[in-house]
Amino acid sequence: MSLQIRRYKDIVAFKEGPGPAIAFHSSNMEVAEITEDVWNIMKDSSLQSSEATPDLQIKDEKLSQQDQGQSASQELTDWQNFQNPEVQSGATAFGIKSLTINVTQICNLHCTYCAAGGDGSFGDPMKKISVEKTLPQIQFFMNRLKEGDRFHISFLGGEPMLYPEALKIIGEYSQTLADEKKLNLTMKVTTNGTLMSDEIYKILTDLGINVVVSLDGPPEVNDLTRPQKNKKPITETVAQNLRWMLNQPHRKISIAIHGVFNQNNMQIEKAYDYYQSLGADWFEFTYAVDTHSSELNQNYISQMKKIAEKAIQKGGEAELRKISIFDQYFKALDQQQRTENHCGIGKSLLIVDARNRLYNCPWTVGQKADQMGEGQELFTDKLDEYQNSLIERNSCQSCWARFICGGGCSFIHQSKTGSKTNKDQDFCFRTRSLISISIMYYNHFREDQYGKETH
């Protein structure tokens, strides 16, 4: 059943089948059902278009009157002009609150789509980070935060579990510093899941380091996309390690699964079924950065909708929100929190490579044009380029999805168009599609809880 879309300025409405139309006020972050009369005067739109329709589709015949005695056009324009006092601004000032640390730049796998040169190295012979240089960097950024601020550390590689001592030392130091400064520290490690031991698990759980395991599906898929260097299958080992961690008594850390999907693997539904059999806390399904195909893009969207429906059938909203993208969008709508930056590139996020150089994105490590500093020195002239919101930088002001998307991924845009600020239209279509699906589901669940109006 196809999704019909109509729009008037900041208000976009969706209708699928005989049910009521669901509208989203993009500036106010509000969702509500609308009447057939209101739907009928809105102009047709599409997920491919970001342009607002400034006028209404007023017909010659007399407009039917609403219960309150207002015409459909008056109801719609009143909602358009209403400024929600509860909506939270997404504007952010410069302040690094998240560091991604490449504790290693070497890996025991050779993933077919590896963004780090196929071996985790980013083409650099430096294989692991200097802990001695990293601790002052962490202190440098933490010292600039105020009491109560959140600070997040993501451990990446290569394969970070090849250097668990770094996780322990950096994690302990960061936690001590956060306690002294009364900061809210969170930590996460992304791993291929092949290496696990009692000692490593103790480091993770003692420090509260949440775990994301990269896994692209069941063995017949994952062993092809994420092979060992010796070509021997590895998925069963990863699955055993996952089950072992998930079944630990009194577990205090979250365990998630992250998959990447591209032209060689678009089996999202099969991956979801396999992830469910393992029982992780949440799942992430990433469309590969280097996959540029409108057909595969549509395939990805269709399968994401299928797994969303499967999740709802299995466990309603709670199960749906185990799929990370839907949880992200539900949180934004619940909190009426605008997003003006798709990520913290150059504004709240920096990446530390194995030489303690600072970059603006995990995918740009090693690219001199994207180096933002080194050690405790920041290249302010380069950082200045990123201080406008990504919505502004990427000219997204007319898109109804802007305050949920936040301007899109600069690296994805660049990989497709050659420019960080020239949008990848497939990305935009994919994002608007997932947001529209989320809005429909959101209304369904919130209507059950709060009645007809959810805005």
Q: What is the largest CA-CA distance in the chain?
A: 76
Domains for the chain: give ranges and CATH numbers.
4-88+432-450 (no CATH), 98-335 (3.20.20.70)
H helix or E strand, kind and range, residue 74: helix 72-81
For residue 59, the model assigns a pLDDT of 59
CA distance 24 to 13: 6
> What pLDDT, on a 0 to 100 scale, did the predictor assign at position 211?
98
Whether the CB-CB separation of 57 and 71 falls below 8 Å is answered with: no
Two tokens, residue 33: 């059902």
Distances (CA, A) of 107 to 118, 152, 160, 241, 255: 9, 24, 8, 18, 21
pLDDT at 70: 59
Contacts of 197 (CB under 8 A, 6+ apart): none
User: In the structure encoding, which two tokens stand for residue 303, read together?
Assistant: 């399968």
pLDDT at 116: 77
DSSP 3-state of 285: strand
Residue 305 C-alpha from the chain's centroid: 17
Nearest to 222 by CA among 210, 232, 230, 212: 232
Closest among 294, 304, 346 to 329, alpha carbons compared = 304
Q: How far apart are CA 304 and CA 299, in angstroms?
A: 9
For 376, phi then psi, to 5°, come to: -105, 15
- Copy the structure tokens of residue 304: 């994401």
Measured CA to CA, the distance from residue 402 to residue 26 in angstroms comes to 8
Query: What DSSP assignment string belongs to 186-213?
Result: EEEEEE-S----HHHHHHHHHHTEEEEE
**Alpha-carbon radius of gyration of the chain:** 23
Peptide bond into 208 cis (omega under 30): no
> In Å, how far are 296, 309, 398 from 302, measured between CA atoms?
10, 11, 26
Q: For the segment 91-110, what is each residue's pLDDT rounded down to a tens digit? A: 989 999 999 999 999 998 88
**pLDDT reported for residue 63:** 46
Q: Could you give the 3-state DSSP secondary structure of residue 136?
A: helix
Cβ(374)–Cβ(356) below 8 Å: yes
For residue 351, the model assigns a pLDDT of 97
Could you read off the pLDDT of 9-37 as tens digits, one per residue? Answer: 999 999 998 889 999 999 999 999 999 99
Locate 94 and state its tokens: 């410069």
pLDDT at 449: 45
Contact in structure between 280 and 256 (CB atoms under 8 Å): yes
C-beta separation of 151 from 145 below 8 A: yes
Segment 156-198, tens digit of pLDDT? 999 999 999 999 999 999 999 999 999 999 999 999 999 999 9
How far is the C-alpha of 295 from the C-alpha of 429, rounded, in Å?
12
- The residue ranges of the chain whose pLDDT is under 50 are 60-69, 448-455
Q: Are 410 and 345 in contact (CB under 8 A)?
A: yes
